[in-house]
Structure 1
């Protein structure tokens, strides 16, 4: 698997093992025994809880995003289609990446079949790639809408074609990895049951069998460039340009209405509205979050391919650093619904409606159902009326300044 810890085990075997406790490994006449479980019960429990948290957040958040877009025809805009595709790719990350990676980090070797090895690696890589490419597509869509507002906007057909191309490109870029993935038994290497030390299991690994180590280095570098470096550069440049455009627009608006400049600001200085500041901050957070969440995992992959650590260093990386890097990378798929959904008013109202619907379903008596229906209706109508009153106040103030 591209992002699997067991991929790196062929760098150290048979000279060393991937056990986090070197004292539990014993060589007897060229036969190596490793513990079945990689970590202590407390450490394994912490891994399970951490991965379970982002798994639930990923499934619930992205599931709600998909439900809101699919059930509301008015939500099927170009931007929301990209957000839907992002949610789908993030759901695949949650389904195929998080559970298998957790199991791979907890036990020694690969516990599944060769078909699962290939399919899991392909789907994992495709879902991660599609998620990254969708982030770029969203940035492009926002760039066109804000920087070039008078140019023809993207149509739904163009958005659907773009989404199809995203998945085709993701499949093409991950095909070499899937072709090279294979499950092999490590000769002379066995796992020992912690409860019954007389019971041993053959050790299998799922890893990429490249003809030459240099080919793996080249492929990792290509992936790093196309799934991290280039997308991050494009996203950063476009969001910086968007921020500059918003700043310029705010300055022109201030020049047109000088009476709206706060008394604390010197004359002629551009005043940026709080709403525009919020948009700029959100765009910066999107780029920084993507960069920071995936940087440790890519750094680890490049380090293992080029520096080729061995022994205790490799053991430390694969047993402790790698699970954390994985968790941090996958957490990006969990927080995407918060960034692209929660800060959007339409998605926010959709989340509120879904929450109210859940409360109604939990109440079985019809009287309670009617009660919660009324509460939800009053709450949603109240939010809409409050927004309308606020907009009317803004219009009155604006007219008074003209």
Structure 2
């Protein structure tokens, strides 16, 4: 019955109308072309090989370097630190872009007619935007967490994995309105000769411009402003920490610590001594002192800050052209004369927007290598972000007098002494 009604709704079509439909869909009035097969855009016929090579190179490089960063973070358990947990989330997001988003985007950029069906017509913009929104939110949370950490190192860090899950959930919610603004028209329902041919177009009833303007403001302008503000504040805090460290003999203390030049309180010595005998968290040479003063390595933190700022800056600059073009194309009138230029510009801007999938992991690799040559990021964040852990090398944060005093008090340079046998010997001598 449904088949009969469908056939009843179909009407015969003359050659002139079919020619107009071919010209509208393919850009050329070739009635011999099969609209069910993919056809290259006329503006990219001469340059499609270069476009494919550029995107394939981007996919290959991006996948390899992101896989290396992903495996390095897992191997050395760097994800225990909140900063590297956010880096891991961005790495997963970039891998998703390389495996799913980029191949689909290249196909849509090169093919003039829509042959992916009704489902992909509604969900392709969602698939493209979810990783982009996740990356933007991750950079914002990373900058906020770093500001909190630099201001008060003993304050608990943000629950990174909960925040990462929240970024994916928020991104999915942000793209839910897309199906409301996109419509798929099956031409085979109306014309028998066009069975299996469809059009994926914007819904002309609803105004998508308002939605895209909201996405531009909430998922680009506002996050980039927040990231800039957080990193500026963090840089100011590091500058103030460096000034106070030079005044206090190189010691940067946090709340509950003591000022350089003063001896620790007796209760701090007692707690630290108990911690020395009972807690060895990371390895044989790593001990935790709950009440000890804690100093940020200002030089290392400033270097970390430069790399993090650079990654956020690269992402914001690369994303800017495509975000502006997506907003401005609603005001542009596309004609047969300018469609070729718009296609080429849009293709270039898409490639630039996905460039951070290659640049960002390379920056992270250089960051780790440069850090390992100085302090060692793996050792620096080896114990995770729960409580500050201090190795023997970390005693360099104290001045020489305090350093020697602390080592003598806690017998760090000597094996532990059996206090019970000493007491018996003292008693024997006394008797």
TM bucket, shorter chain: 0.5 to 0.7
Query: Do the aligned partners of residues 115 and 57 (structure 1) sit closer, same or farther apart at CA in structure 2, a change above 3 Å counting?
Result: same
Question: Within 5 A, what are the aligned runs for 1:1-400?
Answer: 25-26=28-29, 36-38=39-41, 39=43, 42-73=46-77, 75-154=79-158, 158-185=159-186, 204-209=198-203, 211-212=205-206, 215-257=207-249, 275=300, 278-305=303-330, 307-311=331-335, 314-344=338-368, 399=400
Q: Which has the higher contact order (CA 8 A, sep 6+)?
A: 1
CA–CA separation in structure 2 for the residues paired with 1:145 and 1:286: 19
CA–CA separation in structure 1 for the residues paired with 2:213 and 2:69: 33
SS at match of 2:354: helix
- Counterpart contact for 2:69–2:361, Cα < 8 Å: yes
Computed over aligned residues only, the root mean square deviation of the Cα atoms, in angstroms, reads 4.0
- Counterpart contact for 1:92–1:124, Cα < 8 Å: no
TM-score (normalised: structure 2): 0.62
CA–CA separation in structure 1 for the residues paired with 2:72 and 2:363: 15
- Displacement of 1:115: 1.8
* C-alpha distance after superposition, 1:174-204 (max 9, x if no partner): 01113443433579xxxxxxxxxxxx99864
CA–CA separation in structure 2 for the residues paired with 1:136 and 1:301: 22
Query: Do the aligned partners of residues 117 and 164 (structure 1) sit closer, same or farther apart at CA in structure 2, a change above 3 Å counting?
Result: same
* C-alpha distance after superposition, 1:15-40 (max 9, x if no partner): x9687xxxx73499xxx9xx922245
Which runs of 5 or more residues in structure 1 are unaligned? 1-12, 188-199, 259-271, 350-379, 381-390
- Counterpart contact for 1:243–1:280, Cα < 8 Å: yes
* C-alpha distance after superposition, 1:124-181 (max 9, x if no partner): 2212111211111211221111123232323xxx322222221111111101113443
- Counterpart contact for 2:66–2:91, Cα < 8 Å: yes
Query: Do the aligned partners of residues 254 and 396 (structure 1) sit closer, same or farther apart at CA in structure 2, a change above 3 Å counting?
Result: closer
- Counterpart contact for 1:181–1:207, Cα < 8 Å: yes
Residue matched to 2:290? none
Which runs of 5 or more residues in structure 2 are unaligned? 1-19, 189-193, 251-296, 379-391, 404-431
Query: Do the aligned partners of residues 217 and 172 (structure 1) sit closer, same or farther apart at CA in structure 2, a change above 3 Å counting?
Result: same
TM-score (normalised: structure 1): 0.66
Residue matched to 2:384? none
